[in-house]
Amino acid sequence: MLETGCPPIFMIDKRTPTNYHFVMKTMEISEIDEILLRLPEDCVKEVKDFVGYLFEREKKRQAFAEQVSQAKQEPSLEFKSVDDLMKAIREFEE
C-alpha cells in the first residue's frame, strides 16, 4: 500500500491470470458496493433495474451466439433465385 492507504493502481502480480481476474472482480464489486451505500434508495432501484437489463441482454447475446454456432454446423442451403427461396419458406411453414 502507498502512504495514502490506497492500494497501488498498477502492480506486477505473479498469481495465475484466473486468480488475478477473481481478485480484480472482487475489488470492483467492493467499490460498487461502497458507491451504492451512498446513493438514495430510488437510485439504487434504478441501478438494480439497469443491471437486470444488462444481465438479460447478455443472456440473449449468449443464446444468439449459440444459435449462430449451431447454424454454422448445419449444411448450407442454396437457392437459384429469390422465388425458389420464398417457395421453400412457404412449404416449410405449411
**pLDDT given for residue 78 in this prediction:** 85
User: In the structure grid, which three cell numbers stand for residue 79, read together?
Assistant: 437457392
**pLDDT given for residue 15 in this prediction:** 53
Residues in the chain with pLDDT values less than 70: 1-24, 94
Predicted structure pTM score: 0.51
Whether 77 and 88 have beta carbons less than 8 Å apart is answered as yes
**pLDDT given for residue 71 in this prediction:** 82
pLDDT in tens, 79-89: 899 998 899 88
**pLDDT given for residue 26 in this prediction:** 79
Whether 14 and 6 have beta carbons less than 8 Å apart is answered as no
